[in-house]
């Protein structure tokens, strides 16, 4: 059974960089069949796709966040990570990591989510 | 790329059937069969319910079914049960630079 677990600070100051890591167990980030994605959900609002990374290191980001987002992968640790720079209160959200089927484009496994609050 | 359009809320009595719509454009829902549906209970992560328009993952009840016509996809829940009360989101691949787009979300209430 594939499991994903997000980790990282729950509180980030405005203008700083949000950093989260997703640890994958029961599966490998090196699998060629999947993208590894980050998705967020502001409190009381809907889901927003942030971006994904392939095991090779190739990435795609939501254009609305592209200038501030970096997603990286560490195959040796079976982890992938998210960095979002210059955060504001609008970036306060529950952040999910998820596995996306590469060819059929659905998210089949999700982490439990972690709330990140941007506040001084 | 705007979010796909879903009704804010849908309700039904136990045992009834309800349908949730998800309207996009020819660049997303209408152009590809990569439409998926997710169920989200309060405080929980979304759960995949339907993929590729109408396919159910192993373990998902056959009371859930999906379909598509033109630029609108639909999720039908038959034999509505109390446990089906949750938020539901559609998602689609899109040819726009956004690549992935979610719906606005629908709150299902079991009366």
Taking only the tens place, the pLDDT of each residue in A88-97 is 999 999 999 9
> What is the β-pairing status of strands A34-41 and A48-53?
antiparallel
Contact assignment for B104 to A46 by CB distance below 8 Å? yes
Question: A50-99: per-residue pLDDT in tens?
Answer: 999 999 999 999 999 999 999 999 999 999 999 999 999 999 999 999 99
DSSP at B84: G
Tell me the pLDDT of chain B (111 aa) as tens digits: 789 999 999 999 999 999 999 999 999 999 999 999 999 999 999 999 999 999 999 999 999 999 999 999 999 999 999 999 999 999 999 998 888 999 999 999 999
Q: Chain B interface, mutation test: which of A5, A36, A47, most B Cβ atoms within 10 Å?
A: A47
- Position B2 scores a pLDDT of 87
CA distances from A64 to A56, A80, B1, B76 (A): 24, 21, 9, 32
Nearest CA-CA partner of A77 in A14, A35, A7, A29: A29
Q: How confident is the model at residue A1 (pLDDT cuts 50, 70, 90)?
A: very high
- Position B97 scores a pLDDT of 81
DSSP at B8: S
* Residue B11 C-alpha, separation from nearest chain A C-alpha, in angstroms: 19
């Amino acid at each position: 059974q594939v499991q994903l677990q997000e980790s990282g600070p729950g509180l980030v100051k405005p203008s700083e960089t949000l950093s989260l890591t997703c640890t994958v167990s029961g599966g490998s980030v090196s699998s060629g069949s999947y993208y590894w994605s980050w998705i967020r959900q502001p409190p009381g609002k809907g889901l927003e796709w942030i971006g994904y990374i392939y095991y090779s290191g190739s990435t795609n980001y939501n254009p609305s966040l592209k200038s501030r987002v970096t997603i990286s992968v560490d195959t040796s640790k079976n982890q992938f990570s998210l960095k979002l720079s210059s955060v504001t209160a609008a970036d306060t959200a529950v952040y999910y990591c998820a596995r996306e089927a590469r060819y059929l484009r659905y998210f089949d496994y999700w982490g439990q989510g972690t709330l990140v609050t941007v506040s001084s | 790329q705007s979010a796909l359009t879903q009704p804010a809320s849908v309700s039904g009595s136990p045992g009834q059937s309800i349908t949730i719509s998800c309207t996009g454009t020819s660049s997303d829902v209408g152009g590809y069969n990569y439409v998926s549906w997710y169920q989200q209970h309060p405080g929980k992560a979304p759960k995949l319910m339907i993929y590729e328009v109408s396919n159910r993952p192993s373990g998902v009840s056959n009371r859930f079914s999906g379909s598509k016509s033109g630029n609108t996809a639909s999720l039908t829940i038959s034999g509505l049960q109390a446990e089906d009360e949750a938020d539901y989101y559609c998602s689609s691949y899109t040819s726009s630079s956004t690549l992935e787009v979610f719906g606005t979300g629908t709150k299902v209430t079991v009366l």
